[in-house]
Amino acid sequence: MQATPDAATDLLGAVGDTPIVEMPRLAPHAGVRLYAKLEGNNPTGSVKDRVARAMIEAAVADGSLRPGQTILEPSSGNTGISLAMIGSRLGYPVRVVMPDNTTPEREQLLRLFGAEIVFSPGAEGSNGAIRLAEELAAADPDLYMPFQYGNEANPHVHETTTGPEILRDVPDLDVFVAGLGTGGTLTGVGRFMRARRPGVRIVAAEPLPGELVQGLRSLEDGYVPPVLDESVLDDRYLVSNRDAVTGVRRLLREEGLFVGLSSGAAAAVALRVAAEMESGVIVVLFADAGWKYLSSELWTRDLDELEEELEGSMLW
């Protein structure tokens, strides 16, 4: 038997085109329909497969990534794992700078895909990983840093794939909600909707950082990712770790959806938006599945205990 034309010739061909499912039990009232786009269905289990593939393909095409170079990237997990898989397919070693307080699953997955890990101080959060990666990249010409926070391929891949997939599957959407990290998803999908369905509200779910991961020495150590175009956002909500955990639990219990912490936060924001709408259609992007969070027992531990622990860790 021959493979059908739909079969990908390589795992990289299986990135994207993720399912969208309705969440009828989660919807707060009958006027609002809620849909989830399940980015955990990508090959390494997160939306970052899209970004990593786009950045590496662009870098190979324009010659900025050359044979023999090592790919270096600051990442608290998902992007690093995606790059490690892609690097292993294409023959580039991968080195990831990661805060030392993420979950053990991320370290395990990175090593399984053959990546080397450089740890940055957890108290400095993603900002600390970015700073260390920039220092390393500046000192060694054999390192190529795609740098998702500043790489236009990141929002661009969402503008050309994620956005069109959402509009194809839910043509009558009114609101799009996603977590805010690099800003790539919100910026790219936002730009696409501005052009194709201008009335769509673009809403960011932003983590309220725990006290212990706010270890900035000064405000100027703060960081606004260059790829984030704040002009495409219509609203921006803070979500506490507690509300994010409550969100992942409700998603599992009520909709059978096993998702990561940022998805719980995005769902919490979608519900806040839904509560203020009489009618309408909301699409929420769930950036990853729950597998990488199993060791933190998000679903089973006492909420107060968990909240205290999350103050000092970087889970999304």
Partner 1 sequence: MSTVRIPPVLREETGGNRTVEVRGATVAEALEDLFARHPELRQRVTEDGELSPFINVYVNDRDVRYRDGLATEIGPDDTVILLPAMAGGAR
* Residue 247 interacting with partner 1 (CB under 8 A): no
| Region binding partner 1 by CB under 8 A among candidate stretches 4-12, 19-27, 86-94, 200-208 | 200-208
d(CA 45, CA 222): 29
Q: What are phi and psi of 285, to 5 degrees?
A: -95, 125
Residues found in the chain: 316
315 binds partner 1 (CB under 8 A): yes
Q: Minimum Å distance from CB 223 to partner 1?
A: 5
CA-nearest of 265, 295, 74 to 180 is 265
Closest to partner 1 by CB, 33 or 243: 243
Rg (C-alpha) for the chain, rounded Å, is 19
Contacts with partner 1: how many residues (CB under 8 A)? 52
Q: Which stretch binds partner 1 (CB under 8 A): 5-13, 56-64, 211-219, 278-286?
A: 211-219
Contact call for residue 209 and partner 1 (CB under 8 A): yes
**Residue 268 — φ and ψ, nearest 5°?**
-60, -40
Count of C-beta atoms within a 10 Å radius of residue 62: 8
Under the criterion CB under 8 A, does residue 206 sit at the interface with partner 1? yes
Residue 182: partners with Cβ closer than 8 Å, 6 or more residues away: 51, 148, 149, 154, 225, 227, 228
Using the rule CB under 8 A, give the single segment among 18-26, 133-141, 222-230, 250-258 that binds partner 1: 222-230
Task: Show the binding pattern over residues 178-197: x = contacts partner 1 (CB under 8 A), - = does not.
Answer: -xxxx---------------
Query: Binding partner 1 by CB under 8 A: which of 2, 4, 9, 218?
Result: 218
Per rule CB under 8 A, is residue 77 in the interface with partner 1? yes
Active site residues: 48, 262
Of residues 245, 261, 282, 289, which one binds partner 1 by CB under 8 A? Answer: 261
Examine residue 125 and tell whether it contacts partner 1 (CB under 8 A): yes
Q: Would you say 159 and 191 are in contact if contact means Cβ atoms under 8 Å apart?
A: yes
What is the DSSP pairing of strand 32-38 with strand 20-22?
Answer: antiparallel
Candidates 41, 101, 127, 151; binder of partner 1 (CB under 8 A) is 127
Give CA 132 to chain center in angstroms.
Answer: 21
